[in-house]
Structure 1
């Protein structure tokens, strides 16, 4: 929330911005706009007003300011979000996505699995825009998650790109890449590896039966030359 002094300064900034855009804004109207803008940070509002001066050709409106403040939160537009969601369907791809993309995709996925890509896109965009609108009203920061794919090279490329696009901090990216190098093997994988290394492992019952069958087959094949 803005302090009383910051609110007073914002009133002046709104009036000056309106004048720079070739219009006028009364102090009373500016104070009403400040009441709606007080939940944002000063730096966000300064950037939004600068963008309005450069981009808006008509009057300075609350909607124009809000649109630019919200666009600066880093959430992708609906078309980019849909593209990210589709990429996440490829199990080999590593994708960096927001919580809103993940939730919207859960709505669209059943339609997509039926082969209706157009319908899935419509369902996704509708859900995504509702989720983003709600998140922005609640002033939720954009939270980026890494969805790991099977291809190791694509993992590194996706994480590096996310850092360049300022979607992941270098520290988070570094820790993510480090964790990839130490993914523990499952019990089944350890047991199968034990066939090679000679070290014991305890597989699940169905895997244990399969390993026993393989071992018995190998033993029978070894005994046949001596028969």
Structure 2
């Protein structure tokens, strides 16, 4: 809720809630001070402010301060903490994994990429956290809502799992999530499909003759892979690394576009 959307009665009610919280914490606060604090908090939803005041009553030792309230109000905006953000960022290293991340995580990952590419994971984490806290601080100062978006990996099953989890955590809208799930939906599994899946599960199913031939080709290919020479394995690792580099390049490009939009505002 912006200042223009909060009327005088709401500001007065919020001021009274701030005074009551201060008194509950053993502190006297003048109506003028409470009114100033209420005005400064008008950019945030009233429900988040009241929840923050309640948290202050239970958690804060000493006098109630604006910093105490803001810390708890801003934590309710849905942006993950620095450690969770770093863990999410590192998930992008797996090109098969579908990752749901915020604009700030993507921007911070782009800032830390040179250090990460140099092989210094500790330094990369420090660079990421510094950049992430800066981007989050700026977004909160601008009262910008959190924006979660999806970076799609190669594994179709993981895509559905990631989108479903993001929906459950309310990180993406139901409309957005349902659209993704509809795009990722597959045809019902046939008996031949179950036979193919039996390669992984060990389940015994009678496939059609044509499918039996395909199964044999798959088995032969799997045996060849197991017998692959060290040289071929190296080539495969290089190919996987190139795919990961392409994904990272796309994330960096998107981050640069986000940064350009922020600069233009």
Please say if 1:13 is aligned against 2:17. Answer: yes
Distance in structure 1 (CA, Å) of the matches to 2:42 and 2:167: 31
Mapping of residues 65-214 of structure 1, within 5 Å = 65-181=69-185
Indicate the SS of the match to 1:168.
coil
Deviation per residue, 1:191-226 (Å, 9 max, x gap): xxxxxxxxxxxxxxxxxxxxxxxxxxxxxxxxxxxx
CA contact (8 A) 2:160 2:184 kept: no
Deviation per residue, 1:81-127 (Å, 9 max, x gap): 00000001210101100000011101111211110001111111111
Indicate the SS of the match to 1:72.
helix
Distance in structure 1 (CA, Å) of the matches to 2:38 and 2:101: 33
* Unaligned ranges ≥5, structure 1: 183-227
Q: How far does residue 181 in structure 1 lie from its aligned partner after superposition?
A: 4.5
TM-score, structure 1 normalization: 0.77
Deviation per residue, 1:62-94 (Å, 9 max, x gap): 101111110000000011000000001210101
Name the count of aligned residue pairs. 182
CA contact (8 A) 2:98 2:151 kept: yes
Distance in structure 2 (CA, Å) of the matches to 1:40 and 1:87: 31
Larger radius of gyration: 1
TM-score, structure 2 normalization: 0.66
Indicate the residue corresponding to 1:64 in structure 2.
68
Please report the RMSD computed on the Cα atoms of aligned residues, expressed in angstroms: 1.4
CA contact (8 A) 2:99 2:162 kept: yes
Q: How far does residue 59 in structure 1 lie from its aligned partner after superposition?
A: 1.2
Relative contact order higher in (CA < 8 Å, ≥ 6 apart): 2
Indicate the SS of the match to 2:149.
strand
Distance in structure 2 (CA, Å) of the matches to 1:24 and 1:162: 43
Distance in structure 1 (CA, Å) of the matches to 2:95 and 2:45: 39
Indicate the residue corresponding to 2:191 in structure 1.
none
* Unaligned ranges ≥5, structure 2: 187-265
Indicate the residue corresponding to 1:208 in structure 2.
none
